């Protein structure tokens, strides 16, 4: 059974249509990321799932139970969901244990049971011994752990996370992402996670739904969207893109200004079709060669890799290499063997990296 099923929903915000006929499914114990620019509809969808925003059309079901549709609108507190917000939303006048217990107190009167659950979830989020502290006495990462514990205490079927890492220091963020992901997996909790950061999306999610102006442009595993984008929008949003004019020679070969380039999978276009070949910076190889087909224009050492701008056959390409090249201008440009991504269409503008 799917943890969440959204079918053909429509939502408006301040009278303006935001989502129109959107459908999405989240499987059991799956973390789905809603990624996109501000105003694209991802937070609107999260609020609709939570019951905080009315749905004008369509159906929403959580673990097979309808919560929206056909005149039904289950209130948020009866949807058995946990929510984690960008600003943590902790009560400053309550200590950690009181903040964590808050949601359970409206459902459970047994104080001994509440104390036991508080202790259990504080241990889960590595906050043992901090129950008497107040939010202002905690670091940002610790405050986020309190918010997570508060969401977990009622054992939700589904967790909703609205940009939960945006206020966390960069040095702590990736470690916290790993901890929360492992915790959700261990507890068997499905989750929807909203962010505008592709790095967070790659690190945290099992699947990724990329939003564009109220609709989903593509959904799938993060690696699939990055390596095999269905549209140039997806390609450009998820990473640096080089576009090379190309003509289909046969089902496994493209002809380009760089040369004939083989594909490890069949190309979905007829021979003679013209379009653009997508090349990521890591898919282009450089070899020192004074009489090569390329010329190094610029290099930037960025620690983990070096960014190169290379001129090749009238194209300016961005290439990522491990170490800076010696002070030579000539290079041989080649393409690493991979499953090529080809966008047909003569009318599309050729993009060159400046």
Every domain of the chain and the residues it spans: 4-232, 240-344
Q: ∠ CA 126-130-133 to the nearest 5 degrees?
A: 140
**CA-CA distances (angstroms) from residue 37 to 194, 195, 302?**
11, 9, 26
pLDDT higher than 50, residue 344: yes
pLDDT of residue 121: 94
pLDDT of residue 263: 96
Euclidean distance between CA atoms 82 and 28, whole angstroms: 15
pLDDT higher than 70, residue 264: yes
- pLDDT confidence band for 14 (50 / 70 / 90): confident
Q: What pLDDT digit, counting tens, does each position of 74-90 carry?
A: 999 899 999 988 887 89
Q: What pLDDT digit, counting tens, does each position of 201-238 carry?
A: 999 999 999 999 999 999 999 999 999 999 999 999 99
pLDDT of residue 2: 94
pLDDT higher than 70, residue 346: no
Lowest mean pLDDT among 13-22, 259-268, 278-287, 306-315: 13-22
- pLDDT confidence band for 265 (50 / 70 / 90): very high
pLDDT of residue 85: 83
pLDDT of residue 168: 83
- pLDDT confidence band for 348 (50 / 70 / 90): very low
pLDDT of residue 282: 95
Euclidean distance between CA atoms 131 and 125, whole angstroms: 12
- With H, G, I as helix, E, B as strand and everything else as coil, classify residue 223: helix
The Cβ of residue 347 has, within 10 Å, a number of other Cβ atoms equal to: 6
Euclidean distance between CA atoms 235 and 352, whole angstroms: 14
Mean pLDDT, residues 179-187:
93
pLDDT of residue 335: 96
pLDDT higher than 50, residue 182: yes
pLDDT higher than 90, residue 96: yes
Q: What pLDDT digit, counting tens, does each position of 269-303 carry?
A: 999 999 999 999 999 999 999 899 999 999 999 99
pLDDT higher than 50, residue 239: yes
Euclidean distance between CA atoms 256 and 258, whole angstroms: 5
pLDDT of residue 166: 83
**Multiple choice CATH, 240-344, 3.40.50.720, 2.40.50.100, 3.40.50.620, 3.30.300.30:** 2.40.50.100
Strands 31-35, 207-212: parallel, antiparallel or unpaired by DSSP? Answer: parallel
Strands 72-73, 65-69: parallel, antiparallel or unpaired by DSSP? Answer: antiparallel
Structure tokens at 23: 């459908």
pLDDT of residue 13: 80
Lowest mean pLDDT among 6-10, 118-122, 278-282, 328-332: 328-332
Q: What pLDDT digit, counting tens, does each position of 324-333 carry?
A: 988 778 999 9
Euclidean distance between CA atoms 205 and 327, whole angstroms: 41
* Residues contacting residue 292 through CB under 8 Å, at least 6 positions apart: 330, 331, 332, 333
Phi-psi region of 113 (alpha: psi -120 to 50; beta: other; left: phi over 0): alpha
pLDDT of residue 354: 30
CATH number for region 4-232 = 3.40.50.300
């Amino acid at each position: 059974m799917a943890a969440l099923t959204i079918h053909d929903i429509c939502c408006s915000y301040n009278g303006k249509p935001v989502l129109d006929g959107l459908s999405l499914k989240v499987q059991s114990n799956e973390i789905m990321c809603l990624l996109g620019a501000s105003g694209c509809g991802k937070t609107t969808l999260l609020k609709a799932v939570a019951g905080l925003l009315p749905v004008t059309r369509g159906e929403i079901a959580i673990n097979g139970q309808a919560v929206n549709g056909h005149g039904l609108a289950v209130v948020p507190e009866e949807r058995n969901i946990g929510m984690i917000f960008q600003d943590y939303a902790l009560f400053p006048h309550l200590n950690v244990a009181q903040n964590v217990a808050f949601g359970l107190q409206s459902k459970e009167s047994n104080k001994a049971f509440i104390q036991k659950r508080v202790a259990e979830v504080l241990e889960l989020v590595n906050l043992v011994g901090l129950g008497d502290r107040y939010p202002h006495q905690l670091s940002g990462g610790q405050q986020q752990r309190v918010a997570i514990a508060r969401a977990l205490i009622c054992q939700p079927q589904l967790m909703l996370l609205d940009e939960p890492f945006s206020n966390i220091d960069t040095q702590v963020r990736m470690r916290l992402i790993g901890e929360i992901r492992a915790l959700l997996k261990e507890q068997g909790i499905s989750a929807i996670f909203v962010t505008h950061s592709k790095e967070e999306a790659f690190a945290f999610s099992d699947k990724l739904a990329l939003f564009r102006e109220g609709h989903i442009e593509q959904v799938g595993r993060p690696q699939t969207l990055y390596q095999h984008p269905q549209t140039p929008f997806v390609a450009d949003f998820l990473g640096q893109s080089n576009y090379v004019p190309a003509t289909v020679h046969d089902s496994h070969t493209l002809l380009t200004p760089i040369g004939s380039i083989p594909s490890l999978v069949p190309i979905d276009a007829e021979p003679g079709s013209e379009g653009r070949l997508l090349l990521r910076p890591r898919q282009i190889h450089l070899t020192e060669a004074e009489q090569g087909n390329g010329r190094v224009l610029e290099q930037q050492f960025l620690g983990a890799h070096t960014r190169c701008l290379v001129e090749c056959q009238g194209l300016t390409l961005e290439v990522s290499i491990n170490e800076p090249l010696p002070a030579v201008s000539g290079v041989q440009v080649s393409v690493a063997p991979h499953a090529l991504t080809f966008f047909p269409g003569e009318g599309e503008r050729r993009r060159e990296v400046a």
